[in-house]
Each structure stands twice: as structure tokens, then as C-alpha cells.
Amino acid sequence: MEKGDGQRKGPKFNIYWVYGIIAIVLILAQVMNFSPELKVISEQQFRNEILLPGDVQKLDLVKNKEQVHVYIKSDRLSKEFYVKQFKGRLSADKVKGTPLFAFEVVDWKAFEERLDTFCKANNVAEVEMRVVKAPEWFGPLLNTVFTLLIIIVAWILLMRKMGGPASGGGPGGIFNIGKSKATLFDKGAKVNITFADVAGLDEAKVEVMEIVDFLKNPKKYTSLGGKIPKGALLVGPPGTGKTLLAKAMAGEAQVPFFSLSGSDFVEMFVGVGASRVRDLFKQAREKAPCIIFIDEIDAIGRARGRNAIMSNDERENTLNQLLVEMDGFGGDTGIIILAATNRPDVLDSALLRPGRFDRQISIDRPDVKGREAIFKVHLGPIKISETLDLHKLAEQTPGFAGADIANVCNEAALIAARKGKEAVDMSDFQDAIDRVIGGLEKKNKIIAPHEKSVIAYHEAGHAVCGWFLEHAYPLLKVTIVPRGTAALGYAQYTPTEQYLYNTDQLMDQICMTLGGRAAEQIFFGKISTGAANDLQQITRIAYSMVTAYGMNKKVGNVSFYDPSQENTFTKPYSEETGKLIDEEVRSIIDEAYQRTIHLLTEKKEQVEKLAKELLDKEVLHKSDVEELIGKRPFEEKKLLEVEETPPAATEVIAEETAAPDTNTTTDSNETV
């Protein structure tokens, strides 16, 4: 691709020319004397014309020049003699502290005698005299140069400071504030991350690797009439590996790679964002073919005009310039835009259209196989026990993203080191998972015996519901050991990973979530604040069933789900329908609660066994529950159903407590 395309490159401005001009001016100002030039007169003329009228202020006896310099009183400068001598170019400010006349003296002693005799004979006041030495010419020059160097060094340091990463001035200082701050990884640049470090994203890796191949072998695709895609957008929840995939792309690609974030375009000065976009693409054209990666593009790519009151013209100008550069009147070839965001719903539709981002690569949370592969990558530098079961770890971490798994591996290594072990075993990973989910274990937390009993029966109610409901998640572990700042206990379950749920499954899930409150009602005759988050979950599920999934006969097969949030201030249904929705949600929850009460009343003996054992041991595993209340009735049926499906994973219900306004009660919240 030709550079310039008809544009002539003019001479580049260099700020150091300014420094040079300033230095020359300062040196000339020091060397050149802009004061009035000394008038050389005779000694006789000095006595008759200057000394006799009393115009002398003081005299300097310059020994090394054998001269006498005469200073004139400022109030006598208007006399005709001085006006003629200097042609009216004198002023009090200009000659202040400056000698105006000079005459030569050979014998200093004889001069002093003559001067004293003349003053006495003519009744002239004695004149102040001082002996001085004329300064060398290079002394002031050295002082000026030294001072100038200090000023220049301080100025350069100041400009570099203003141009640092914290100031947003760009690599060229404040004068280059409109320059792009993208980091360039050119050919041969060392990036330690490769595609081998990216696990669990096989489909996304194929898409990204194909983009690199587009740039390396364009004829392979254009020979059939196809066009190289302009851009690809990586979309996924936080921590799933979008930026990691881009880093690996920079490490594997043999083309220049520009990396920056969406916030790098944002600045307090008007017009800087658009200027940086222009400069970025100018650099990219010079390096084409190349890749530009913009992380967190939603910082500048938000939809325009969504809220006129809070609109930001500077951000919209930046977005407009980005849209033009990506696919405007003068399209570029050989530049591919790669961007990442976890908020694709807020991006402008013009940014997402084909021709700008031709591809949207979805990066979801990994499944059990993906988690196992991610564990293998992160366990590489960790000394692990030979008995460690990676598959079991993957099963017990459902919904964990790559960043969460990396955190679990690091926590397990720290826990093992704290215990003085030589290798990290399964128990360390179990403790790490518990810590990530529920927080730090606090065995010394003081809990009243009655509250501890309520917590035990609450957890036992959850466990029994999960054990005897067909579509509920089977129990893996339950504990009443306090964790974190608020958790009083939690239960861990093993659901099958699925994407579609029917009505029976959702109703069983609501019943299991209500198990804690139902157990409190049955065994204590009153309820506590321990089910605050339980109620939030079941309310969300029930409203989704009625308003989003069409699982209610009276409301019907309609969905009021609004992913684009176009109806932020108005509801898409009437007040009568809203009242009906509220009634049906309450009906669903009441039905589930009565069903849960009935189930736990039948299984009251099993709930008591689990609660008493929890009060004794504080932690129960699946095997302990089987010994106490027998095997789960639906276990064999579930095994037959999932014989051909991927292994199960783990879901956690954590019971948390937060102190309300009074000190006598607690608010226990459970999170799935």
C-alpha cells in the first residue's frame, strides 16, 4: 500500500529549535551591553564640566584598565551638556547604576592628589571613590550558560512529566497530546503469551487465528472474490479471556499489533479523542498490514443519543471519528480492528454493523471440559499431588471463568504453603474453592447457640429439599462454619449443565430455595431474616416465569422482556396486567412454599438428623448424608439420563448474614 496517497510531507516541527532560539537570545542579552556607551573625555574636561558643577555621584578607579569611570547623578541628566553628549537618549532608569564617562589615568597617586587639591580650591564636596577590578568577559557568559542549561533541563523534565502515562499527554509531552497512546508490538517483539496459554476457547481461537492468516495470506481468500473482514468484536463476561486471547494474538502474529484501551481516547480537552483516533489510524496505515486491538471499547462506543441530558459531545465526536476511520469514504485495506467488551448491549448500532465489525466472537464461561483444560494451564507452574483429580475440580467449579480458576489455583498453592506441604493436594483446592465462594473461614466467630441451631436447621432444610426433589440439584457438601464478613454457612450442590429449563425444574428450584425458611417455620414456629436473599432469588425466578418465559396460563404466552431497555420509563403492559402479574407471582411462590412445607413435614425426621449432625460436626459431605438418610431416590434415574451427556458440575448456595438496624437480629442471605 502506498504511503501518503498524494499528500506531501512537510518539514516536521522540532521543539528543540525553540530551545536553541531562547538560548541565543539570552546569551546575546548577557554579552551585548544595551546600556549607553561610555564617553571618553579628558581629565581636565571632567574637572571643569562635571566635577565643578557637582554632578558626580561616584567614581570607580578601574586599576587593571587604568581608567576612571564616572557616575552622574540622575537629577542632572537634563542639563544641556549631557543632552548634547548623548543626543537626548538618556533616562534615569536607563543609566541607573551605570557609568557614563571615562578618562585615562597613569599615576593613581598623583591623580588622587590633584583631585583633592581641586576640590579644596573650588569648595567642591568630596566625591566617593572606590577601587574596582574590571570583570573578565567570560564570567557573565559562563553564568548565563549555566543558568540557561538548568532552565532547559527543568523544562524538558517538566514536558516529559506532563507527557507521562498518568498525565495523558502522550509520548511527546503536552505538545503531542493529540497523539495516539497505542502500544506497538512490531515484528520480533517478545510477548510471553501464546495460543498454548489460552485454554477452553477453542472456537474463538480458530476465529482469531484465521484473522491472522487473512493478513499473512490474503490471496488465499481474495482469489475467490472474497474480502478480508474489517474487524472482529470479542464479546463475553468478565474474566473469560478476551484480553488474554488478544495478548496471545499479539504473541503469535507476525504483523504489527497496536494495543490500547477505550479510555486512552478520552481526555479533558475537547477534540483530543478524535485527534488520537486519526493519529492511530495514520500510524496503522504506515505499518499495514496490521492489527489494532481496542480493549473495553464500550468506553467510547456507547450508543449516541440514548440520553440527551447526559450526552457527552466529546465522546460522541471520538466515536464518529472511529466510525469514519473504520469504514468511511476513504476505506483502508490491510488494517483489521479487534475489540473486546463485556457490554455489547450498550454499543452503538453503527459500530456493530457489517463493514466495521464483520464478526462477533462470543466467549462464554467454559463448560466442564473447558474448565479442566484451563486447570491444566494454570497448574503448570504449581507442584501438585499425584492424587489430584482435575476432572473432579472442573465438576466442582461451575460458572467459574478463567480468571476465577486462576484465582483458585493461586489460593490453593498459598493454602498448601501455609500448611507447610510439599505439594498441593485435593483438600487444598477444596479449601480454595470454599474461600473463593464464601470467603475466609472464621471458626472463632462467636454465634449464640440458638442462632447456630437456626442456621443448622435452615441448611438442613435446603439439603433435604435438594435430596428428595427430582429436579432439584443434589447435595455435595453443607457446612455451618462462618465465612467471610457475612456468611454463616453454605451448601454446595452438583447440577447438570444445561441451557433449557422446564416448568417442573424451575418449580423444584424455587422449592429447594424456600427449604431454609420452611424448616425454620416447622421447627421453631417463626421465621428469621436468614432467607432474605432466598426471597430475592425466587422472586426473580417467578417473575421471569410469568413475564419472560410465558409459563403462566392467565398471563399467557407473552414476554415483556426488554433486552434493549427501550422501555426504561414506561412499562409495556397496562396497570391491570401488572396487577395480574403480581398476583400470579405470589400464587407461584405460595404454591411452592406450601409444597415445601408439606415435603419437610414428611421428612421431618431426616431434617432433624442432618441438623443435629451439623451442630456436632459443622461440615457434612454427600457420603455423610447418604449414611444418615439413605441414598438419593432419583440418583440412579439421573445417571441413566446423563449417561451420554458431559459430567455434572457444582453449584453453591452460600448463606450470608448482614446486621440490620438493630443488634438483636441478623439478616441471613443465601446466594446461588
The yes-or-no verdict on residue 301 having pLDDT over 80 is yes
Residue type for position 568: T
- In sequence order, what are the residues at sequence separation of 6 or more whose Cβ sits closer than 8 angstroms to the Cβ of residue 631? none
Cα of 643 vs its chain's centroid, Å: 45
pLDDT single digits (tens) 457-515: 999 999 999 889 888 877 778 888 777 655 677 777 777 777 888 999 999 999 999 99
pLDDT of residue 624: 86
pLDDT of residue 663: 32
**DSSP run (H or E) holding 340:** strand 335-341
Percentage of residues in the chain with pLDDT exceeding 70?
A: 77
The yes-or-no verdict on residue 172 having pLDDT over 70 is no
Per-residue pLDDT, averaged over 24-32, amounts to 63
SS3 of 186-236: CCCCCCCCCHHHCCCCHHHHHHHHHHHHHHHCHHHHHCCCCCCCCEEEEEC
The yes-or-no verdict on residue 519 having pLDDT over 90 is yes
Q: How confident is the model at residue 268 (pLDDT cuts 50, 70, 90)?
A: low
DSSP 388-449: --HHHHHHT-TT--HHHHHHHHHHHHHHHHHTT-SSB-HHHHHHHHHHHHH-SB-TT----H
**Cα–Cα distance, 314 to 57 (Å, whole number):** 66
- In sequence order, what are the residues at sequence separation of 6 or more whose Cβ sits closer than 8 angstroms to the Cβ of residue 58? 71, 127, 128, 129, 130
**Cα–Cα distance, 296 to 267 (Å, whole number):** 16
CB-CB contact of 510 with 541 (8 Å) = yes
DSSP state of 384: B
pLDDT of residue 145: 72
Per-residue pLDDT, averaged over 242-264, amounts to 84
**Cα–Cα distance, 445 to 438 (Å, whole number):** 15
DSSP 480-533: ---BTTTEEEEEEE-PPP-S---HHHHHHHHHHHTHHHHHHHHHHSS--GGGHH
**Cα–Cα distance, 288 to 202 (Å, whole number):** 28
Per-residue pLDDT, averaged over 644-655, amounts to 38
pLDDT of residue 532: 84
Question: How large is the angle between the packed helices 622-629 and 449-468, nearest 10 degrees?
Answer: 80
The yes-or-no verdict on residue 657 having pLDDT over 80 is no
Least confident of 29-38, 191-200, 480-489, 546-555: 29-38
**DSSP run (H or E) holding 158:** helix 138-162
CB-CB contact of 327 with 230 (8 Å) = yes
pLDDT single digits (tens) 547-588: 999 999 999 999 887 765 555 556 778 889 989 999 999 999
Q: How confident is the model at residue 595 (pLDDT cuts 50, 70, 90)?
A: very high
pLDDT of residue 279: 87
pLDDT of residue 599: 94
pLDDT single digits (tens) 355-373: 888 888 888 888 888 899 9
Assigned C-alpha cell, 157:
523534565
Per-residue pLDDT, averaged over 323-338, amounts to 75
Assigned C-alpha cell, 407:
484465582
pLDDT single digits (tens) 270-298: 678 888 888 888 888 888 788 889 998 98
- In DSSP terms, 338 is beta-bridged to 232, 293
Which position has the higher pLDDT, 487 or 47? 47
Pick from 428, 411, 448, 431: nearest CA to 657: 448
Q: Could you give the residue ranges of the DSSP H alpha helices within 525-662?
A: 532-547, 575-602, 604-617, 622-629, 635-641
Q: Give the number of other Cβ atoms within 10 Å of residue 123's Cβ.
A: 7
Mean pLDDT (the chain, rounded): 78
> Cα dist. 653→473, 519, 612 in Å?
11, 16, 20
Per-residue pLDDT, averaged over 584-597, amounts to 95
Q: How confident is the model at residue 671 (pLDDT cuts 50, 70, 90)?
A: very low
Which position has the higher pLDDT, 162 or 436? 436
203 is catalytic: no
- In DSSP terms, 183 is beta-bridged to 259
Specify the pairing of strand 335-341 against strand 290-295.
parallel
The yes-or-no verdict on residue 333 having pLDDT over 80 is no
Per-residue pLDDT, averaged over 644-653, amounts to 38
**Cα–Cα distance, 74 to 91 (Å, whole number):** 8
Active-site residue, from 459, 520, 584, 670: 459
Number of Cα atoms under 13 Å in the Cβ half of residue 508: 18
pLDDT single digits (tens) 65-119: 788 888 888 878 778 777 777 766 666 656 666 788 888 888 878 888 888 888 8
Angle ∠(455,458,460) on CA atoms, nearest 5:
110
Per-residue pLDDT, averaged over 122-139, amounts to 74
Sequence-distant contacts of 201-206: CB under 8 A, at least 24 apart: 201/240, 201/241, 201/245, 201/363, 201/366, 201/370, 204/234, 204/245, 204/361, 204/362, 204/363, 205/245, 205/248
- In DSSP terms, 651 is beta-bridged to 493
Specify the pairing of strand 231-235 against strand 335-341.
parallel
The yes-or-no verdict on residue 228 having pLDDT over 90 is no
Question: How large is the angle between the packed helices 503-513 and 515-524, nearest 10 degrees?
Answer: 40
Highest mean pLDDT range out of 169-173, 218-222, 462-466, 596-600? 596-600
Per-residue pLDDT, averaged over 36-58, amounts to 82
pLDDT single digits (tens) 384-430: 888 888 888 888 888 888 899 999 999 999 999 998 888 998 888 88
Assigned C-alpha cell, 229:
473482514
The yes-or-no verdict on residue 166 having pLDDT over 70 is no
Tell me how long the chain is: 672
The yes-or-no verdict on residue 207 having pLDDT over 80 is yes
Percentage of residues in the chain with pLDDT exceeding 90?
A: 15
Question: How large is the angle between the packed helices 503-513 and 449-468, nearest 10 degrees?
Answer: 160
